[in-house]
Structures are given as C-alpha cells and as structure tokens.
Structure 1
C-alpha cells in the first residue's frame, strides 16, 4: 500500500450516526409495548379502544419502514446470510421453545409448532421474509407498486394465513419496501428530514395525528361493531374479516395509505438530536422479544383487564409500558439476556471466521450500531439531554 493510500485510510472519518433513527426505533417499540399492554382494557373502555386503534393504525408499519430503510437489496454476502441465521432464525427457535414451555406450564398447551409463531415472534419471521424477497423486488421497475399489489391481493386468498407469518409479512411488505425506497431515492437526505422540521410541517403532522383521533372518537361504536382492529393485524383474508365484497382490497389499500401518512406525521414529531432514548433505540429487539414475558403473567392473572376503573388502568399501563421499554433496553438486561436475543452459535457454521463472539454490532432490523454495545461512547458517562 502506498503512503498516500495509507494516509487516506487513516484519515477517513466514519459516517456520522444520525440520532433520529435511533429515536424513531425506540418510539416505535414503546408504541408496540403500549398496544399489547392495553389490549385487554379495550373490552371495557372506549377510551382504551380509541388509543389502541390509534396506535395499531401505524406502529408496525412505522417499524417496518425503519427496518426497510437500513436493508440492502443486493445479493447477500456470506456474512449477511449468516446474520439471517444468528439474528432471526436462532432467536426465533429459542424464543418459540421458551414460549411453548411457558404455555404448557400455565395453560396446559403441549404442542410445539414452530410454523405458528407465538404472540410477538411473527415479526422476526417477517424480517426474514423481507430480506428474502427484497433482492427480487429490487430487480423490478416498480417494486413499491408490486409490493402493494401483493399486499392487497393476498387478502383475497383464504389459504394464506399465519403459518410462518406469511399473511402478516406480505400484508406489511409495502412499508418495508417504502423504507428501502426512501433510502434508495435519497429523499430523506434531499429533504433534510432528519435534520430539522419547520413549525409549519410539525403543525401539519399534529393535525394529521389528531385528525385520525377525531375520526376514531365519535365513531367508536361503529369501529367496535365491525372489529376494525383486526384489519390492522394483516393476518387474515378479507372473508375471514367479514369483507366478502370484491372491493374489500380497497379497504386494505386505504388503510395502507392511512398508515403511511400517520407514520410520516409521527416521524416528523420525533426529536432529531441525541436524547435519553437515542442509545436505547439501538436495542429495540430486546424490548420486542422480552416485553411479552413481562405482560403475559399480568394478562393471564386478569390484572390487565381493569374492569372497575378502565380509564385509570389505561393511563397506568401506558406509563408502565414506557418503563418496560426503558428497563428491557438497559445494559444489565442486555448482558443477562444477550445469549437468547443475540446468540452467537459459531459452531453451526463450517467457517466461523467472520462470526465474531460477543455482542453484535448490527441490530436485527439491519442498522449498524454506533460502537461496541457494552462500551460507553466517551470516557465519561453519557449525559441525557
């Protein structure tokens, strides 16, 4: 290597990390926990159902958009293929086995069926499916349009269900592709989305989010009667949702547009600078995989129902959800549960040279972490602003 080349290599600065995306991840995972925490309260409280529908209209689409933004569409390298195994398949097998054992001990269910993911594990398989199909979609002229056709069209097929999360994965596929397209088109950079937003744009975002709330509140009896929440799961055919009409696909298309608008408004309101949640946002998979174990005993014991004071329970569970997200993404929890969430089974591979031991530098959603996860960014403890 020449002296000039060596000089360039040593002076090359790493690409600066954008705090916005970590803030977005953490905000999305908090909404996920909130949605699961208040689900039982919706039976007895219109306020809880309004909150639930407001969250479920866009929280997983927003998560998929962020995941797609950091996913590459080229032919996967050997290391990338190994990460699919270590970041998705192995954690899924571990967690599904644990869930089977828990359900056997608590509910008496003795069936181990890895083709039917338990509770939150569907998104792990969806991430794997996204990575599998994206290189092929990227070859097409209009990948986003094709993903929309797939999402709307799969709802007409009764035989596509929750097996291997296929229905849900194909249902929210457009959001993942949208995130990838945003990165490909460099719209985020051109519009300086992650740098700052004017008060006018923030005002429009607030109007959009409040507008959805204004639609939910006066018509809550209708939304409860037609079970609108199930349309946001993307896990059933239209006939299974009671929509046998030929135009049922238009309903899903409308909900996709709604989710995209709400996600954009949600992103606009998030902080752009480093905050107390920026570092925590790099470890959202810990929260995603572990929070259900916190909520499960509360759900089974009836604590989450809150039949007498549902509104009070609603507020309490929303606050408790934020606490859960903070605790589960903290350093002590990561150290304790890293073998389950981020296993490193080097013995699985014939060649394990590029499978380093220790914590991963890449989040399962595809985003590179700033530094070695268990080391502070500076000698002094980070200050939270």
Structure 2
C-alpha cells in the first residue's frame, strides 16, 4: 500500500507552511477544474440522447477528465513503504467513506425506488473511484520496482479489455484501465519533471494556443461525428468498464481503439494542465476539498436525473448552458465550509474504535485527502504531546 504524498513537489500547505514552503496554486486549481468537470459530465449525460452538442461536450469531458484526475492523484503519491499512520489513512480516507456512502446509496434506492441490493463489491455510481484509489496505492510500490512501469501499465490496460471475467467487481475494470494515468502522475513526480523543466512558471502563449487548439479539434470531431460515435458506443468505450467484446469490438485489433483513447486522453490531460491558472484566486482553496464534491454531488443530481428534468424530448438552446451553470454552482457549493462542517463525519470519518491504537484515527493538522490534495484540517490542532512523529505526508 502506498498512501503518502510527495510533499516537496508543490504539495505544501496553503500560503507559507510550517516548513516555509509555498503551496503551488496550480494543483488546487486543477483539482477544482477536474471536479467541476466530473459534476458536469454526470449532469449533462441525460441530454446526450437528444442533443448532438451535449453528446459532443460529454465525449470531450469523458475523454480526459478522469485520466487527468488520476494523473494528479498519482503525482502526490509515493511508492515508499507506508508507515502505520499512512496505512491507517487508507482505512479512514478510502474504505470507511466507501462503506458509509454505499450504505447511503442502498438506503436511498430502497426509499425512492423500492429496491435495494447491498453489495460492497459492486460500487454505486461514482464510488468506483474510491476503490480505484485504494488499488492504485496498493500496486504502486510493486510497479515502482519495474524497469518500465508506464509501459507495463499500458499493456495491462490494453489486455484487460480482452478478458471478459474482469468486470466492475471492486471496480477492477476501470481501475486497471486507468492505471497508466495514475502511474504517469507518480512518474512525473518521481523524476521531478515539473521542476526540472520549470513547468510551474514557464508557460508560453503558444503552449496555451496549442492546448486550446487541441480541445477545439477534439470537441469539433466529437460533435460533427456524433451519429457515428453513437453507433460505435464511444460513450461506453470511455468508461473503461466493459470488455471489448461487450462493446462490440470483437476483432483482434479492438485494443487499438483503447490505445488511441489512451493517447488522446494523455494529450488532452497535458493540454488541460497547460491551461490551468497558476496563480492564487478566491476560489483556489476550494480545490482542497474535492472529496466532498465527489461524494455528495451524486445525491444532489439524483432527483434531477430520475425525474426527467435533465432530459427533455426537444432540448432547447437554453438547456445545455443551464446545466453547465448548474454544475459549476453545485461543485462550488459542496466545497464550501458550511457543507464541509455538516458532512465531515461522513466524508472524513475518524473511527477510533476500529483501531488497536485509537490515535491512528485522529485528524492530523496537515494532511492529504485521497485525491492528493494537501490541506489544513479545520479541526483545532491537537496538543503537541499527542501528535505522531510521522511527518503526515500521507493521503
């Protein structure tokens, strides 16, 4: 298990932390942009059935937004042997929230739909990414031992699509499909690529122009060939959760489609990071709380999706812009302090009763959430005598 962050590389606390290191706003801005895209992708999904523009936007978002999230999470992970505290964080930050929100979804479906099928091996809706993060950290120390870890993870991603027995159980299909991006993030941090090429400060205008051009080209093709993408079920290919045969790719070269999607996702993820603002803004700090948005937004969107509000027989020109605005508002609202204060016991549970050493469940003064966002805890700091000697660089 690897649950710790590479703190020296842009992961220090906001402003000037205890070690006098400056927090890099880029990563919080990127996380916030990613989580807004997550909400947008889920909100716009019902419009894609009747609107080519909505489908084009959906395909564009899904081409890169979760790969980019995986890259960022990997960037703040490290492959060292984890400490006791870091192993405990996997239980408190990933396993416990997963169990809590699976229980909430089971209850919600029973109350609203009159049916419930409690099964912790089959993650509900967005919860697959929590399991993916846990598995990413489990395998990272082993991947780091290999000579070409990026190449091996690409081979794994391509191969699992040929194996029908690897499915959504414990989200293994998506986890292994997206593993190259998490590994890429770790590799970039491990080799200090960002600092070596001074990428946090050097951003030429022509780089931004190229990045915008890439998004424009992919977005145009996503919209212009909307009917073709519907026929080939491209939307399902981008989920990484079905075998090639289930997607209609029965030919031996079906893995080439995934390879092309991996390459496009890689290019757009780099373009995405090139366009992210480097400076501190009023909304930058909200990027520290992406787990709140990720775990809670599905409950906000659920009634809109189920009652048909997000899908109309004839979408008007106002429907898509309205959903975009709604997505941004929902994402920002769920990261605010009042929401965090109410839902912290669910999103950041600290079950002291679970551990032989109850101190392992304490909330640290500074820590990383599962997506790699290093931040200050909002609880009052504990007395020095009760603090662990561990530097708390874990996620």
The residue number in structure 1 matching 2:229 is 223
- Partner of residue 341, structure 1: 347
Q: Which residue of 2 aligns with 1:5?
A: none
Q: State how far apart, in whole Å, the 1-side matches of 2:178 and 2:246 are.
A: 18
Q: Does 1:142 align with 2:148?
A: yes
SS for the counterpart of 1:305 is coil
Query: 2: distance between equivalents of 1:165 and 1:348?
Result: 25
Looking at structure 2, the residues matched to 212 and 186 of structure 1 have their Cα atoms a distance apart, in angstroms, of 30
- Corresponding residue for residue 280 of structure 1: 286
Match of 2:74 among 68, 72, 95: 68
What is the TM-score of this pair, normalised by structure 1? 0.92
1:104–1:59 CA distance, 2 compared to 1 (3 A):
same
1:247-306 CA-to-partner distances (Å, cap 9, x unmatched) read 111110110010010011011011001012210000000000000000001111110103
- Report deviation, 1:14: 3.0
Q: What is the CA distance between 1:221 and its match in structure 2? A: 1.1
Once residues 165 and 140 of structure 1 are traced to their aligned partners in structure 2, the CA distance between those partners, rounded to angstroms, is: 24
Query: Shift of residue 195 of structure 1?
Result: 1.9
Distance 1:18 1:51, change over 3 A: same
Q: CA deviation at 1:352?
A: 2.2
Matched, 1:316 2:328: no
Q: Deviations over 1:81-122 (max 9, x none)?
A: 100000000000000000001011111222111111000000
How far does residue 218 in structure 1 lie from its aligned partner after superposition? 2.0
Structure 1 residues 146-161: aligned runs within 5 Å = 146-161=152-167
- Measured in 2, the distance between the counterparts of 1:333 and 1:359 equals 20
The residue that corresponds to 1:25 in the other structure is: 31
Residue of structure 2 aligned with 1:299, choices 291, 294, 305:
305
Extract unaligned runs of 5+ from structure 2. 1-16, 381-395
Distance in 1, Cα, partners of 2:341 & 2:18: 32
Aligned alpha-carbon RMSD (Å): 1.5
Aligned equivalents of 2:18 and 2:332: distance in 1?
35
Unaligned runs of 5+ in 1: 1-10, 376-385
1:147/1:177 contact within 8 Å kept: yes
- SS of corresponding position for 1:361: strand
Find the counterpart in structure 1 of residue 337 from structure 2: 331
Q: How does 1:179-190 map to 2 (within 5 A)?
A: 179-190=185-196
305-314 vs 26-35, greater mean Cα deviation: 305-314
How many residues get paired?
364
How many Å separate the matches in 2 of 1:309 and 1:367? 37
CA shift for structure 1 position 216: 1.6
Contact 1:342 1:359 in 2 (8 A): no
Quote the Cα distance in structure 2 between the aligned partners of 1:271 and 1:167: 33
Q: Which residue of 2 aligns with 1:52?
A: 58
What SS does structure 2 have at the residue aligned with 1:247?
Answer: helix
Which residue number in structure 2 is paired with residue 372 of structure 1? 377
Distance in structure 2 (CA, Å) of the matches to 1:67 and 1:204: 25
What's the secondary structure of 1:217's corresponding residue?
helix
Which residue number corresponds to residue 170 of structure 1? Answer: 176
Question: Contact (CA 8 Å) 1:91, 1:342: kept in 2 or not?
Answer: yes
Q: Is the 8 A contact 2:290 2:371 kept in 1?
A: no
Q: Under a length normalisation based on structure 2, what TM-score does the superposition of the two structures give? A: 0.89
Within a 5 Å distance, the mapping from 1:221-300 to structure 2 comes to: 221-300=227-306
Task: Decide whether the 8 Å contact of 2:297 with 2:330 is kept in 1.
Answer: yes
